[in-house]
């Protein structure tokens, strides 16, 4: 009941918020000139997924080490599901240790904690750590890459196909600026990842003779206030790439640049995109991640009602100086839920409307696991309902 009341109150409160006119972001994209020294780019507000600027955003290009954003998504999901833990020790195979390019110089047979592996990937863009984690989670690199592509399909990344977990050059390995922004959005649901991606420097093997200094390949984490991720990339084919994220005054944005001619150009273009976002837009928070938005009845379940929660933060994007009214919320839950329903299972969607125009749509989840009730429990429930009605 509390969730239902909360949802109704939210609908009433939403009517007083200021949000952009429907065509505001489109008009802004038409007028503004950004990322002129890159092949493609996109600027996205994190919570709503609204695109504030784009340039060739669906062109399929090599992502280089930005690939590791998807690798980190699968690592974070494995941690969330309890399949691995931060303190698990990963044994390094000869194949993982043989990776070239950016690396933390893992040796065959060396054991390193998951937390340190993630540091190596997030801060140092380590190819060897990426492969070691892929092998540990999926059993082989090939199986892990299949999972990467399955996740891409799940996220509707239509411009993306992976051949490896590192981003090292491979024919047929590609993505787009648009898809990179959506991958960044997905990774940021695991908020703890920014404690790694936002570090400028750290150490591995600190208590040994092989102490290793990590310096973030994303220099903006030091030089642009609010930047705490996510991933750089460079190969001769891809040129200089960056998927960056910054959080200021409660608004988080994602900026992607692909194919910049130099690190200086890449950083300057992302900086201009972030400046544009924070000077022209703001957000109004509506719901936190995993906040109850509704309670629904589930037929023949152990519990008569199931609280439904958000899958991510939900915000309204505000274009400064513009207002709108008649903002409303709609929660749609699947009518025929099959038992058992598992905690975290997607069971419907939350929609935010400005008048008749859909502003935001986001999955909603089951807040807990619900199993099928025993016949005796169903009998007692039915008997109780009959006695109340008589």
- 341-367 confidence digits (pLDDT tens): 899 899 999 998 877 888 888 999 999
**pTM of the predicted model as reported, rounded to 2 decimal places:** 0.84
Residue 67 predicted with pLDDT over 70 = yes
What span, in angstroms and rounded, lies between the C-alpha atoms of 351 and 354? 10
Q: Quote the tokens at residue 75.
A: 């690592």
Q: Quote the tokens at residue 191.
A: 């908020």
Q: With contact defined as beta carbons under 8 Å apart, do 268 and 255 qualify?
A: no
Q: Quote the tokens at residue 379.
A: 């009998």
Q: Is 50 a catalytic residue?
A: no
> With the C-alpha atoms ordered 73, 85, 193, 259, is the resulting torsion angle positive or negative?
negative
Instruction: Return the pLDDT at 154.
Output: 96
Q: Indicate which residue of 38, 93, 125, 272 is catalytic.
A: 125
Q: Indicate which residue of 38, 40, 57, 65 is catalytic.
A: 65
Of 7, 14, 1, residue with least CA distance to 328: 14
Helices (H), the chain: 2-14, 24-31, 68-80, 94-97, 114-122, 127-138, 141-154, 177-187, 194-197, 220-223, 263-280, 375-389
Of 47, 48, 52, residue with least CA distance to 25: 52
Q: Indicate which residue of 55, 68, 231, 239 is catalytic.
A: 68
Q: Are strands 89-91 and 201-204 parallel, antiparallel or unpaired?
A: unpaired
The predicted-structure confidence for 8-25, as pLDDT tens digits, reads as follows 434 444 443 333 333 445
The enclosing H or E element of 54 equals strand 51-55
What 8-state DSSP symbol labels residue 297?
E
Q: Is 119 a catalytic residue?
A: no
**Phi and psi dihedrals of 282, rounded to 5?**
-150, 170
What span, in angstroms and rounded, lies between the C-alpha atoms of 265 and 355? 41
> With the C-alpha atoms ordered 110, 111, 114, 116, is the resulting torsion angle positive or negative?
negative
| 306 burial level (CB within 10 Å; 0-12, 13-18, 19+) | buried
Q: Is 125 a catalytic residue?
A: yes
Instruction: Return the pLDDT at 30.
Output: 52
What 8-state DSSP symbol labels residue 192?
G
The predicted-structure confidence for 87-103, as pLDDT tens digits, reads as follows 999 999 999 999 989 99
Q: Quote the tokens at residue 203.
A: 């150490």
The enclosing H or E element of 227 equals strand 227-235
The predicted-structure confidence for 245-280, as pLDDT tens digits, reads as follows 999 999 999 999 999 999 999 999 999 999 999 999
Mapped onto helix, strand or coil, the DSSP state of residue 383 is helix
Q: What is the mean pLDDT of the chain?
A: 88
Cα–Cα distances in Å, from 208 out to 4, 96, 131? 56, 21, 23
What span, in angstroms and rounded, lies between the C-alpha atoms of 14 and 136? 46
What span, in angstroms and rounded, lies between the C-alpha atoms of 62 and 183? 15
Residue 306 predicted with pLDDT over 80 = yes
Instruction: Return the pLDDT at 165.
Output: 98
């Amino acid at each position: 009941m509390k969730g239902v009341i909360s949802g109704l109150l939210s609908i009433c409160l939403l009517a007083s918020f200021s949000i952009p006119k429907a065509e505001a972001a489109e008009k802004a994209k038409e007028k503004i000139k950004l990322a002129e020294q890159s092949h493609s780019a996109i600027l996205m507000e994190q919570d709503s997924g609204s695109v504030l600027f784009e340039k060739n955003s669906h062109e399929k290009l090599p992502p280089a080490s930005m690939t590791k954003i998807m690798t980190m998504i699968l690592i974070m999901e494995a941690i969330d599901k309890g399949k691995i833990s931060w303190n698990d020790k990963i044994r390094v195979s000869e194949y993982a240790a043989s990776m070239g390019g950016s690396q933390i110089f893992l040796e065959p047979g060396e054991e390193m904690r998951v937390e340190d592996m993630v540091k190596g990937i997030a801060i140092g863009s380590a190819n060897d750590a990426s492969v070691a984690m892929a092998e540990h989670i999926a059993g082989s690199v090939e199986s892990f890459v299949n999972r990467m592509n399955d996740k891409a399909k799940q996220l509707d990344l239509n411009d993306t196909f992976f051949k490896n977990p590192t981003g090292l050059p491979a024919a047929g390995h590609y993505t787009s600026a648009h898809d990179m922004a959506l991958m960044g959005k997905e990774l940021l649901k695991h908020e703890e990842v920014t404690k790694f991606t936002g570090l400028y420097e750290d150490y591995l093997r600190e208590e040994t003779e092989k102490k290793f200094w990590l310096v973030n390949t994303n220099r903006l984490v030091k030089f642009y206030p609010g930047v705490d991720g996510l991933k750089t990339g460079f190969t001769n084919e891809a040129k200089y790439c960056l998927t960056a994220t910054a959080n200021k005054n409660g608004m988080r944005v994602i900026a992607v640049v692909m194919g910049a001619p130099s690190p200086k150009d890449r950083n300057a273009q992302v900086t201009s995109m972030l400046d544009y976002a924070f000077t022209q837009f703001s957000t109004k928070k509506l719901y936190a991640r995993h906040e109850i938005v509704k309670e629904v009845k589930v037929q023949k379940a152990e519990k008569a009602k199931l609280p439904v929660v958000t899958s991510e933060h939900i915000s309204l994007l505000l274009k400064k100086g513009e207002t709108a009214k008649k903002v409303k919320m709609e929660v749609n839950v699947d009518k025929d839920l099959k038992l058992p329903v598992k905690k975290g299972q997607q069971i419907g969607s939350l929609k935010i409307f400005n008048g008749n125009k859909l502003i935001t749509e986001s999955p909603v989840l089951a807040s807990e696991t619900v199993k099928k009730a025993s016949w005796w429990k169903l009998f007692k429930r039915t008997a109780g309902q009959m006695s109340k009605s008589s």
